[in-house]
Amino acid sequence: SVCAEAYNPDDDEDEDFEPRVVHSKSDEQRRRLQDACRDILLFKTLDQEQFSEVLDGMFQVLVKPQEHIINQGEDGDNFYVIERGVYDVIVLIDGVGKCVGTYDNKGSFGELALMYNTPRSATIMATQEGALWGLDRVTFHRLIVKNNANKRKMYEAFIECVPLLKALELSERMKIVDVVGMRAFKDEECIITQGEKADCFYIVESGQVKIMIVSKTKAGQLDNAEVEIARCSRGQYFGELALVTNKPRAASVYAVGDTKCLVIDIQAFERLLGSCKEIMKRNISQYENQLVALFGSSVDLKH
Ligand code: 1OR
Ligand code: 1OR
C-alpha cells in the first residue's frame, strides 16, 4: 500500500477470518499489561471488545541494557507498549546516530512501519533492563489500522477546521488523525496539573476548559488560590507550552462541563507538529503581555 493512503477496510475482508492470536497470561501479568495500556493513545478509540482482543494478542518481551528493539531501515514486525524501562530514540542524521527523544517508563512505539508499510523510521534502544508488551503486525493491522479508517471519518472534518493545523499539508493532518487519542472529561475534572512533567498536547473537540494558575506575590509569598487566566473551546489547543519550552506545566487545566479533547503524545507532537511550532511560539510570546494586563507587573509565576 502507499504511504499515508487512506486505508479502505473493504479491501481485505478476509483478514477478519484469520485465526485470532491469543497469548495466555497469568492474572498478575494481565493486570500489569492493563496498567501499561491504560494511557496508550492508539487504544483510546477502540471499543471494549477490540481492546480486549488487543490485550489477548500481546506478548511479554524482556530487554537488556543496550539492546536494540527496533533498527532504523528494517521491516516492521511488532508494535510495542512499555511496561517499564528507559528507551532512546536514535535517528541517523548525515550518517551519524543521534538521540532525538526518550521514552521514560511509559508510552509506545513501532506503529509507523506497521501503519504505513514503510521501513522503521528510527532505532529504539533500551538504556537499562526493561519489559515491553509486543503486538504482532497482523493483529495490529486487523485491530488498529482498520480502526484508523473510522478515525479518519470521525475526525477529518474537525481536524480540517483547527486553525493551528491550517499550515500543514492534508496528508500531514491525516497522519495526526491516525495517532491521536480521544479523552472525555467530566465537569471540573483536572486535565493538566501545574508543575507536573508534560508528555502530551491537547485540542478541544467539544466543551470547554479553563486554565488556572497558582501565583506568588512580589514578596515571594505563595498565594495558593488558583486564578483563572484563560479558557479554550472547540478547535483551540493547550498544553503546548511545557512541550515547547521543556519545562513543567505552567498552569492547571480543568474541564468546564463535559468535555472531549484530542490528545497527541510528545513524540508525535515533535514528529508531526514541528512546523506549527513557530505559530505556537508566537502565541506564547503573547502570554506574558496577557499576564501583565491581568495581574499587573507585581505578580509573577511560581514556575
Ligand atoms: P517505526 O515503526 O517507524 C521506530 O519504528 C519508531 O520510533 C517509530 O515507529 C515511532 O513509534 C518511534 N521519528 C520517527 N519515529 C519516532 C520518533 C521520531 N520518535 C519516536 N518514534 N522523531 C522523534 C520525536 C521525538 C522525529 C525524529 C526526526
Ligand atoms: P502547559 O504545557 O504549560 C498548561 O500546560 C497550559 O495552559 C499551557 O501549556 C498553555 O497551553 C496554557 N495564557 C494562556 N494559556 C496559558 C498560560 C497563559 N499559561 C499557560 N497556559 N498565561 C498568560 C496568563 C494570562 C501564563 C503565562 C505563563
- 69-125 pLDDT, tens digit per residue, is 999 999 999 999 999 999 999 999 999 999 999 999 999 999 999 999 999 999 999
Ligand 1 centre to CA of 89 (Å) is 7
Ligand 1 atom closest to Cα of 113?
A: 2
pLDDT attached to residue 290: 79
Q: In the block, which residue shows the cell 503524545? A: 265
Nearest to 252 by CA among 180, 181, 302: 302
What is the model's pLDDT at position 298?
Answer: 45
- Cβ-contact 121, 113 below 8 angstroms: yes
* Cβ proximity of 129 and 85 under 8 Å: yes
C-beta 85 within 6 A of ligand 1: no
ipTM of the complex: 0.95
CA pair distance 170, 115, nearest whole angstrom: 17
Task: Check pocket membership of 121 for ligand 1, CB cut-off 6 A.
Answer: yes
Residue 184, exposed/middle/buried by CB under 10 A (0-12, 13-18, 19+)? middle
Q: Is 254 left (phi over 0), alpha (psi -120 to 50) or beta?
A: beta
State residue 288's pLDDT score.
81
Q: Which helix (H) or strand (E) holds 111?
A: helix 111-116
Residues with Cβ < 8 Å from 31, sequence gap 6 or more?
A: none
Burial label for 126, CB within 10 Å (0-12, 13-18, 19+), is buried
Residue ranges of the chain with per-residue pLDDT less than 70: 1-17, 216-223, 297-303
Mutation choice for ligand 2 from 211, 226, 243, CB with most ligand atoms inside 8 A: 211
C-alpha 36, offset from chain centre? 14
Q: How many residues does the chain have?
A: 303
Ligand nearest to the CA of 198: 2
pTM of the model: 0.90
Q: Does the CB atom of residue 40 touch ligand 1 within 6 A?
A: no
Which amino acid is located at 269 in the chain? F
Q: Point out the ligand nearest to the CA of residue 214.
A: 2
pLDDT number for residue 206: 98
User: Residue 113: helix, strand or coil by DSSP?
Assistant: helix
pLDDT value at residue 7: 54
Beta sheet of 123-126, edge-to-edge order: 68-70, 123-126, 86-93, 96-104
Q: Hey, which residues does 126 pair with through a beta bridge?
A: 87
